[in-house]
């Protein structure tokens, strides 16, 4: 499932289950639920939290920094092997 990134004012689906801690995210994601997390306001904290929560199984993120968080989530998915990279290059030495 591709991650969903929302701004704080956007409407959330009732099927999304909110989680506040990393442990809750892991437990609820292991149960097969679509987990929603709200990210902190500072950009650096939001990016770090998004990557960690994504690796733990969260699928919906609410943040003020939608574009930056979306890029961080795509990078996290590429590094974890769940999404192919958008561009690959072969380096010749």
pTM of the model: 0.89
Q: Is 78 helix (H, G, I), strand (E, B) or coil?
A: helix
* Residue 59 within any structural domain of the chain: yes
Interatomic CA distance for residues 36 and 17, integer angstroms? 6
Give the range of the structural domain holding residue 43, as residue numbers without chain letter: 4-80
Interatomic CA distance for residues 21 and 53, integer angstroms? 9
CA angle 85, 77, 84 (to 5 degrees): 25
The total of structural domains in the chain comes to: 1
* Residue 92 within any structural domain of the chain: no
* Residue 70 within any structural domain of the chain: yes
Interatomic CA distance for residues 52 and 44, integer angstroms? 13
Task: Provide the CATH number for the domain around residue 23.
Answer: 3.40.50
Q: Can you list the alpha helix ranges (DSSP code H) found in 2-93?
A: 22-30, 43-56, 66-80
* Residue 47 within any structural domain of the chain: yes
* Residue 89 within any structural domain of the chain: no
Query: pLDDT tens string for the chain (93 positions)?
Result: 889 999 999 999 999 999 999 999 999 999 999 999 999 999 999 999 999 999 999 999 999 999 999 999 999 999 888 888 777 888 776
């Amino acid at each position: 499932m591709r991650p969903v990134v929302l701004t704080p004012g956007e409407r959330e689906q009732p099927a999304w289950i909110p989680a506040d801690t990393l442990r809750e995210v892991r437990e609820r994601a292991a149960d097969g639920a679509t987990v929603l997390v709200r990210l902190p306001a500072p950009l650096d904290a939001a990016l770090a939290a998004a990557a960690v929560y994504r690796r733990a199984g969260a699928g919906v993120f609410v943040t003020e920094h939608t574009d930056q968080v979306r890029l961080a989530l795509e990078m996290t998915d590429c590094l974890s092997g769940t999404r192919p990279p958008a561009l690959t290059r072969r380096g010749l030495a």
